[in-house]
């Protein structure tokens, strides 16, 4: 089953316990994702997923190729690909196998 990530709709000025708290409950209930217990909402990595962080330009190139990814985070010039737990640990071996060298 493919899970989609709901879009956060709260503003940075949202009152504590308002939209961020509701969104945290939704992430936990529907997706099984753990969140940090504070505003603004933060997803915890290493439990339900890992994040592979890369330059946004490189991430956009990956997405333009039609590569199927999980959810994607974009923050300024950085992009994060949410992958299965342990996926980040496998990346160095994968890059070596592809003969791309170490990071």
In the prediction, which pLDDT does 88 show?
80
Mean pLDDT (whole number) for 40-61: 85
pTM for the structure as a whole = 0.59
- Nearest by Cα to 26 from 43, 12, 11: 43
| pLDDT recorded at residue 60 | 92
Return the domain boundaries, the chain.
1-44, 47-103
Both structure tokens of 68: 């199927």
- pLDDT category at 11 given cuts 50, 70, 90 is very low
- Report the pLDDT value the prediction gives residue 79, as an integer from 0 to 100: 94
Give the residue-averaged pLDDT of 66-75: 84
> Residue 15: is its pLDDT beyond 80?
no
Distances (CA, A) of 36 to 2, 40, 42, 68: 24, 9, 5, 28
Give Cα 45 distance to the centre of its chain. Answer: 8
Give 38's DSSP letter.
S
Q: What gap in Å lies between CA 88 and CA 91, rounded to an integer?
A: 5
């Amino acid at each position: 089953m493919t899970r989609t990530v709901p879009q956060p709709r709260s503003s940075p000025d949202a009152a504590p316990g308002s939209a961020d708290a509701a969104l945290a409950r939704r992430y936990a209930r529907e997706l099984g994702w753990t969140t940090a217990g504070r505003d603004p909402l933060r997803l915890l990595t290493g439990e339900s997923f890992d994040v592979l962080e890369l330059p946004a330009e490189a991430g956009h190139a990956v997405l333009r190729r039609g590569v199927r990814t999980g959810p994607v985070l974009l923050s300024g010039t950085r992009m994060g690909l949410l992958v299965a737990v342990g996926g980040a640990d496998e990346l160095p071996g994968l890059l070596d196998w592809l003969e791309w060298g170490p990071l």
